[in-house]
Amino acid sequence: MRGHFITFEGGEGSGKSTHAATLAQRLKSLGLEVVLTREPGGSTGAEIIRHILLSGIAKPLGAETEAILFAAARDDHVRNTIMPALEAGQWVICDRFIDSTRVYQGALGNVDQRLIRGLERVTVGSAVPELTFILDVPARVGLARADHRRGKKTADRFEGESMEFHENLRQAYRALATEEPARCIVIDGRPPRDVVADRIWAIVQARLKPEKAEVAETSAP
């Protein structure tokens, strides 16, 4: 794997999509090649499965089946989008990845950890994130932001869960960060957007040292 792989995680309305996009922009402004992607989705096959999952039609089948569907989407995404970009030396920034399955289906859906880890083994391969930012906001704050953003549209499969679910989600993300402190960094998502973005950028600079891409020399006329 020659490129770099960074993921963003967090509950609804935590700001992770905004910060994934801001980081991608900052890296691009150094002239680096960046792929900004998301899960579920990010490749043709995975986008089809995304629709099945977020519409809620798979909910009656249970959390285990949903975990398998998320894994199927991830498999397509890793093979067709993430690995080719990493092999080409690009920076891949992904909005949600394995930790969403660990937290939503594992911790909250009570899906057996062995199944979760087994699915990871077959889908992720060497595409393990080097750095994962977990955007942390109280459930109340995150849901209020998500409601505001959604306007009159109805909540999707997971946005429609209870306040308790979302608070448990936050605690599960925090617990996960303490299990893998070298990879996972919890970022307080409450300060103003620019402050959060600068914190993330400082960590990426310190850890992964992105350097301005060399511009190919053009010969003078």
Give the binding site for ligand TYD (CB under 6 A).
12, 17, 38-40, 54, 70, 96, 100-101, 104-105, 156, 158
**Helical pair 139-150 and 163-179, crossing angle rounded to 10 deg:** 120
Q: Which is nearer to ligand TYD, 32 or 77 (CB)?
A: 77
CA neighbor of 50 nearest in space, from 65, 61, 40: 40
What tokens appear for 13 in the block? Answer: 């309305």
Q: Tokens 């087994």 — which residue?
A: 118
Q: Which is nearer to ligand TYD, 52 or 54 (CB)?
A: 54
Q: Compute the distance between CA of residue 176 and CA of residue 178 in angstroms, rounded to an integer.
A: 5
Q: How far is the CB of 157 from ligand TYD (least distance, A)?
A: 7
Q: Compute the distance between CA of residue 32 and CA of residue 89 in angstroms, rounded to an integer.
A: 10
Q: How far is the CB of 101 from ligand TYD (least distance, A)?
A: 4
Q: Which is nearer to ligand TYD, 85 or 107 (CB)?
A: 107
- CA 151 to the chain's CA centroid: 23
Q: How far is the CB of 220 from ligand TYD (least distance, A)?
A: 48
- CA 177 to the chain's CA centroid: 14
CA neighbor of 185 nearest in space, from 61, 52, 6: 6
Q: Which is nearer to ligand TYD, 54 or 144 (CB)?
A: 54
Q: How far is the CB of 86 from ligand TYD (least distance, A)?
A: 18
Q: How far is the CB of 10 from ligand TYD (least distance, A)?
A: 8
CA neighbor of 28 nearest in space, from 96, 74, 92, 100: 92
Q: Which is nearer to ligand TYD, 27 or 103 (CB)?
A: 103
